[in-house]
Chains A and B, each alone.
Chain A
Amino acid sequence: MALDRRDFLGLAALAAAVGVTPTAGRAALAEGVGRRRARDLGIILGRLPPGTLNAITDVPGVRVGQVTVVAGEGAWQPGASPVRTGLTAILPTADIGSTAVAAGLAVPNGNGELSGLQAIERLGVVASPILLTGTSHVGVVYDAVVDVLAEHGPVPPTPVVGETWDGTLSDVAGRYLGAEQVRAALAAAVGGAVAEGAVGGGTGMICYGFKGGIGTASRRLPAPLEGHHVGVLVQANHGRREMLRIDGVAVGEALADWQGGQPPAPPSGVNSILIVIATDVPLLDVELARVARRAVHGLARTGSISSNSSGDFALAFSTANAVGWRQLLGDGRLIWRTVDQGAIEPVLQATAEATEEAIINALCMATDMAGRDGVLVPALPLAEVTALLAAHGRLHA
């Protein structure tokens, strides 16, 4: 992206003036009071070891930037207040927009929006930053990304913008994100630790009846793919409380009535989840579609059934197969790499495990949030959860 640090700081000053917080990965780890990631609590999911950061950014070259918008409180004033929204930008490469990476898709339940599906399915690539936001902001974010991508040439790729609904906590009649916030998120995208919980696109999200949002995790792969990683980032806004399971323990059932039970549901029922999977294993688009399908297994382990009203999307990309956007559209012969499909098993396992852990991290790191009409969505009560897991022998020192 074209913005330099001065532009970013200028935008940051503007953002701060309207209650917007651009979140660089290293700057803010959403260390809300008492919030800790799953592993730090002794919740160990799966068998493969995590990467150094246990984040999608463990895949070299992947960067994440987020903008969080929190303003107002109390009674809902459509078009004005309160605001609990934001966006999360995932950049597969430093020059995404000029470069495309191989990608595959799985849609467990398509009651939602992830723009660019046709391009991903037809071309087998993602050539846009991946933006995750609230439902009401898909159009304006898409529009802003179009302008950004147009800077790369006359035939820009299709923006990839996904949504989950934040209308329980946030005003969905107004528009609080636009070109400035999109560019701020892109400029703020860095490697390193990723802020989780009620930040970025996950600001106003609710997951299994608790405060949800952004979560991430990764896995280091074993031989013959040692040195490679799978990283997952989710925007978790799905499920009913009684569904939640953590490492096989029916936590949601045990906490069904905790603090008044399930927060108000949206008119359409249960909401959605966006799952982004990154890997540096060289895989073709058809193989990445197989990887994306495994995210569903991780999702299911946390209790989801991809409800009828849910918009569940899993998008997997490989940074090992990158091609110039113009070359992809051109006349030439291109080269990608792949590994034998017999070696892909660890990638599939890593995807399922990292997806599961990313969702639980989102829950563990999110903080209480009050929003529209004073609705209070409590954070997952970590003390109660760890006690439950310990009672079932599922808490590790």
Chain B
Amino acid sequence: MGRYVLKRLLQAIPLLLGIISITFFIIHIAPGDPMEMYRERERGREMDPQVIELMRKRYGLDQPIPVQYVKWVANVVRGDLGESFRYRRPVRGLLAEAIPYTLQLTVLALLFDALFGIALGIISAVRQYSALDKTVTLGSLIAYAIPGFWLALMLVLLFSVQLNWFPTSQTRSMDYDLLSSGQQILDRLWHLVLPVFVMGVASAAGTARYMRNRLLEVLNEEYVVAARARGFPEHVVIIKHAVRNALIPIVTIYGLSLPFLLGGATMIESIFAWPGMGRLTVEAVGGRDYPIIMATTMMAATLTVLGNLLADLALTVVDPRVSLEGKRRAQ
């Protein structure tokens, strides 16, 4: 397995280089000047053109694009992701501040997805064609079809603005520092309810549908019939035999969700003013903050590659019949 992992990682290097190179050239070739974004200053005064030229030199924007590219790659290899045009701070520091906030959302959303999606899928399959099954099916379709940003706005409008049941935005209350430790934890969780729900519900809907279909296939397998014939209780047959096998492809899907952990919350973070990677990326794209755009793209590409690798590895663990070299082992 070690050799396989090393081989995949080595294969990933040219792939990543290709992705970030294409991104670099696309954003630098696009018309418009990033310094234009920072030309307009407060109180309506415009920046001195000489200052703009100094900034252009500072960020290397006066160099030809191929020269900028080579310098950028050399810096990235050294671990230097550059300095944000807007914040005038190292990109590494900005990412380090933002990542924990995004992980809070996405990890909880994945857990929500896994728990509710799998549970609903099981219930739906076991109670096939019942009223519960039909409700879950319809609900899943609706939840899957609703755009996440629209759902977020509607929930904010209803539960925050109208009913005042949940906070509208941010990660904690203004009087957080005055709360006890226990209250602080609850306050944090309270702020997580709406964004996690929005992020998790569509994924859970998809997982539920997938789980239902897989479980229905598995429930017709001979070993399940045999388990029932041996007199095992129904819940043992379902959980220990059927669900375990039905979960195999779902494990693969979760492996592919790795990039989502750090990049999947863009719109939700903007709507809920969550200071994570997604919001940082959206602001960077709107403000032509090239260093942040490049850093987040590189991160997303790296996580996608790693996610694929993890999914393949996890599959071999969950299903011993699958070999990393693509050949099914003899049974």
- A associates with B: no
Contact surface of B with A, Cβ cutoff 8 Å: none
